[in-house]
């Protein structure tokens, strides 16, 4: 097979893999910044724990993706500065995100992350890249489950229309 045989780390990345890895790193930087701001806005201790886990995961993704890019001669995006902590009481009520709003946004982000990871896994021809995104997919799924459980427990879930009573079948 030539260039695509042997150790996957010695194989070249294709342009789709490069773009996906670079995008993951860049979006993770934005997530750290955004979730740090959400930490300032939330008063719920359980939601804070999930936000901290999301920040830790985003930082891990930045570190791993940047290393992969750098090893392949590609410069990652610049690092954003950390947001300073702010007391919740110092944020005016009209400017504050509520805990249910934050929970809905991180649930949406996590869901979109699952789709993005699946797409990169499907396009990858390097096994190490596919495995890396499979790991991210699994972590996103676990965090998504925690978020869903929290949203249900706190009463923040706004369900879509539910089919409570099924219509009876009509035999023709």
Q: What string of DSSP letters covers 43-92?
A: --HHHHHHHHHHHHHHHHHHHHHHHHHHHTT-PPPPPPPPPPP--GGGS-
Prediction pTM value: 0.90
Average pLDDT, the chain: 94
Q: pLDDT of 13-55, one tens digit each?
A: 999 999 999 999 999 999 999 999 999 999 999 999 999 999 9
């Amino acid at each position: 097979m030539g260039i695509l045989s042997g150790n996957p780390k010695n194989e070249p990345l294709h342009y789709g893999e490069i773009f996906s890895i670079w995008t993951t790193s860049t979006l993770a930087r934005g997530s750290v910044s955004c979730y740090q701001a959400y930490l300032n806005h939330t008063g719920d201790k359980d939601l804070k724990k999930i936000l901290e886990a999301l920040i830790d995961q985003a930082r891990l993704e930045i570190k791993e993706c940047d290393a992969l890019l750098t090893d392949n001669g590609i410069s990652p995006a610049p690092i954003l500065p950390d947001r300073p902590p702010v007391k919740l009481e110092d944020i005016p009520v009209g400017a504050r995100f509520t805990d249910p709003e934050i929970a809905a946004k991180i649930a949406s982000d996590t869901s979109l992350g699952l789709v993005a990871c699946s797409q990169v896994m499907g396009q990858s021809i390097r096994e190490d890249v596919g495995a890396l995104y499979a790991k991210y997919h699994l972590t996103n799924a676990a965090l998504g489950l925690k978020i869903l459980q929290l949203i249900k427990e706190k009463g923040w879930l706004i369900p879509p229309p539910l089919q409570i009573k099924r219509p009876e079948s009509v035999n023709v």
